[in-house]
Chains A and B, each alone.
Chain A
Amino acid sequence: MSDEKELVLQATEVSIIFGGLCAVSEFSCELHQGELIGLIGPNGAGKTTLFNMFSGIYTPTSGQISFWDRNENVHIINKMNPAQLNKLGIARTFQNIRLFSNLTVSDNVRIALHNLRTVVPIDILLRTPRFRRDEKMMTERTLELLQLFKIDNKKNELAKNLPYGEQRKLEIVRALASNPKLLLLDEPAAGMNPQETEELMNMIGFIRKEFHLTILLIEHDMKLVMGICERIMVLDYGRIIASGKPEDIKSNPQVIKAYLGSEAV
């Protein structure tokens, strides 16, 4: 499981300021290979902003973010854009589902395989054997993934026609298709009922076992977070106010004051 303690991502005193407002302030953390870490905090605490920095959508105003890719080469990823980071091995899902609505379930996943291509433009214009080989490879890999998560029966459905829970699932499958080393899940359980949340928890556990990756998870659903995360970081007003095992976080008075309030889990 997660006996290796190699670093995957390291943030050092990362801050970001938007027009005078400091959204994240001197955030530091270390993510190790195979860990499943939760990131919680009240709304507006800066969690998604942090994700956006880790996935290249924002550039930190100060501090440094380092990432170790699949070949264990380290990169400083502050200024990299999302496409570059995806190629290095970071994939994410979004708070408000961002699927390719008018494309099929199958195509949604297939697009994530784009960077595995071996063709050049001429190949696709002339439909060369190399093109057919690539397409076959992508078809097989896509089907594999869809079958693994049991949505292959809907592979030709348009993504926008899927029920909410399956849309969320598809977004995660798409993220996995790009073979990431670090998976960032932004509120994957948002809008789910208890049964769906249970399924999601199993799915995340399954992903962790099958794919040998590191998962960082933003969530408000305490049952999910406490249930599956090994370690939890708590953010409030852009600063980290606690970090540790779920039991410790649950009873941390500052966390309770800032966030959990009287919500007993």
Chain B
Amino acid sequence: MNTGSIFLQQLINGLSLGSIYALIALGYTMVYGIVKLINFAHGDVMMMGAYAGYFVLVAMGTTVTGSVHVSTVSLLMAFFAAMIVCAFLALVIERFAYRPLRNAPRLNSLITAIAVELILQNTMRVLPFVGPDPRQFPTMMTKNFTVGPISISNIQLIVIISSALLMIALNYIVNKTKTGKAMQAVSYDLQAASLMGISVDRTIAITFIIGSVLAGAGGILYATAYPQIDPVMGYMPGLKAFIAAVLGGIGSVPGAMLGGVILGIAETLTKGFLSSQYADAISFSILIIILLVKPAGIFGKNETVKV
């Protein structure tokens, strides 16, 4: 295998991983865009989605040992379960933890987000039927397709295609529906939007829900690609997705998509050519560099303070 083919292979791997990061990053960026909150609990919503899917798959009889495999139907059921659970979580969290603090200083909301993260993680740890130990996520039979020197698995294809479909759906919602326009309006100017008759509470809740639904889907895809789940699985991907959102320009939807993919590819290229140990450090270094060079991110706008 020459360098070129390793490079292409890692590109494919990175695209797959990056799509997942992008899905999660979208949640971060939309929430930040609309209420200027860094929702630290977002990675753990993804974790909850993965667990929801896990329990559905187990209930449907699919097992780890491979006697009954995950089929398309059961995977779809897992998706639905994850999305519904995450939507519900989003509703509850927004209503009880974030809404009371909407007018509070940002630090307070930040701390609350961290508290929510702790609650989600530790609830899963403490629940008797879950527990802190990792579990194997049931996967489907792996099939590899080779195109020349590179191979792509069916799982990777599923990840890339489902992510793309979800992002197209999101794009449609944000740009072509009234709800989407309401979301944009509230993110520009909350007070003006409410004066125009937009229900700000509802719009914000919908934003949280959409973001969490995507995170839930991301959780299923992540668990399918890396089939070990545990209560803290959301921490690293959540952090990386956050970096992706910042890289693309926090608050920008296309930014989150692009940022996710770039980060995923950067990570896999590092793993392929340098060493997997440095993969994390590279992600953080990208964060530092982008914040020093262009803090607003790739698609972000520089805001100047009026004196």
Contacts and interface: CB of A to CB of B under 8 A. Distances in A.
A138 B307 CA distance: 29
Interface string A63-97: 00000000000000000000000000000001100
Main secondary structure of the interface of B (DSSP, over half): loop
Interface residues of B, number: 1
Interface string B237-279: 0000000000000000000000000000000000000000000
A52 B307 CA distance: 8
Interface string B188-209: 0000000000000000000000
Nearest to B305: A57
A94 to B, nearest CB: 7
A23 to B, nearest CB: 12
Interface in A48-69: 48, 52, 57
Contacts of B307: 48, 52, 57, 94-95
A57 B304 CA distance: 12
Contacts of A57: 307
A48 B307 CA distance: 8
Contacts of A94: 307
A95 B307 CA distance: 8
Interface string A35-58: 000000000000010001000010
Interface in A94-125: 94-95
B2 to A, nearest CB: 48
A57 B307 CA distance: 9
Nearest to B304: A18
B303 to A, nearest CB: 13
Contacts of A48: 307
A226 to B, nearest CB: 27
A95 B306 CA distance: 11
A48 B305 CA distance: 13
A186 to B, nearest CB: 9
A91 to B, nearest CB: 15
Interface in B267-307: 307
A52 B305 CA distance: 12
A94 B307 CA distance: 8
B215 to A, nearest CB: 37
A128 B242 CA distance: 49
A109 B84 CA distance: 58
A171 to B, nearest CB: 14
Nearest to A55: B307
A170 to B, nearest CB: 19
Interface string B27-57: 0000000000000000000000000000000
B243 to A, nearest CB: 29
Interface in A186-234: none
A218 to B, nearest CB: 13
A46 B74 CA distance: 65
Nearest to A52: B307
A128 B277 CA distance: 52
A84 B64 CA distance: 69
A146 to B, nearest CB: 27
A19 to B, nearest CB: 10
A16 to B, nearest CB: 13
A94 B305 CA distance: 14
B306 to A, nearest CB: 9
Nearest to A94: B307
B33 to A, nearest CB: 22
Contacts of A95: 307
A100 B307 CA distance: 15
A196 B140 CA distance: 78
Nearest to A48: B307
B45 to A, nearest CB: 36
A75 B7 CA distance: 58
A106 to B, nearest CB: 26
A17 to B, nearest CB: 14
Contacts of A52: 307
A246 B307 CA distance: 28
A231 to B, nearest CB: 25
5 contacts: A48-B307, A52-B307, A57-B307, A94-B307, A95-B307
Interface of B: 307
Interface of A: 48, 52, 57, 94-95
Question: Shortest 5 CB-CB distances between A and B: which pairs?
Answer: A57-B307, A52-B307, A94-B307, A48-B307, A95-B307
